Amino acid sequence: MENRFAIITGASRGIGKAATFYFAQKHYDLALISRDKKNLLKTVDEVKSFYPAVKIESYVLDISKNARIEKVINQILDAHNRIDILFNNAGCFIAGTSLISPKNLTSLINTNLSGLIIVACLVARKMQQQKHGYIFNVASLAGKRPVAQLGGYCASKFGVVGFSAALTRELIPYGVKVTAICPSIVATDMTEEVDMPLEEKIQIEDITKTLDYLLNLGPGAVILDIEIHCARVLASETNSVIDYLKNHSDQ
């Protein structure tokens, strides 16, 4: 019997690497995509050491180079009769709103939004034909709640949330689900500069537990997007509101 098959972008680090181990543990064969060849090959070796029976293909691809995406993804699609999962995770983080440079804005949009959309559309056509599959688009809580100094990043992730919701409605009649995963501050190298104890950030395992929850829902249940809040940040926001109300209660 043919194993289930998952495509994972941004697979060599952080959330993408965690998803790679999650799907390997679940006995999926894998196509791993990353722009970082060294870390990608290291990830392949690590996964194989734990799960030697899992078949793994690796592809070096910078998702921001949109012109190359179609060739690589079609190569994967042509080689497999079924695609069960797309974990669409590759992304980058650059700060800036009114002061963001055109170069940085272009990088954000090409990687986080247009690259993600191109990958999703190519895989969606295959899933539509086979009448099953699940696409996870990794967005961010910043794609639902704007942050003052992160306007470019927020714009890219708002786009992911909107695109995912539209794609869900298009694919549901074919038995294909799409969910945008929207975490706050996750304990990865991308958030190393965030001044917060590591243990107070969202843990990588919380993302894979979310995956597990979504995959175990019945066919009649659809989650358009799922927010994963950082408890410390949420508590801080709540306390700020309470302090404001106290200070203005007699006015």
Q: What is the pLDDT of residues 154-169, one digit of tens each?
A: 999 999 999 999 999 9
Identify the sign of the CA torsion 160, 224, 135, 74: negative
Q: Which of 8-17, 22-31, 63-72, 187-196 has the lowest mean pLDDT?
A: 187-196
Q: Which residue has the higher pLDDT, 45 or 188?
A: 45
Domain limits of the chain? Answer: 5-247
Q: Please give the CATH topology (third level) of the domain spanning 5-247.
A: Rossmann fold (3.40.50)
Candidate list 59, 153, 174, 213, residue with the active-site label: 153
Query: So what's the pLDDT on residue 13?
Result: 93
Query: So what's the pLDDT on residue 198?
Result: 64
The question of whether 153 is a catalytic residue gets the answer yes
Look at the block and give the residue holding tokens 């998803």.
19
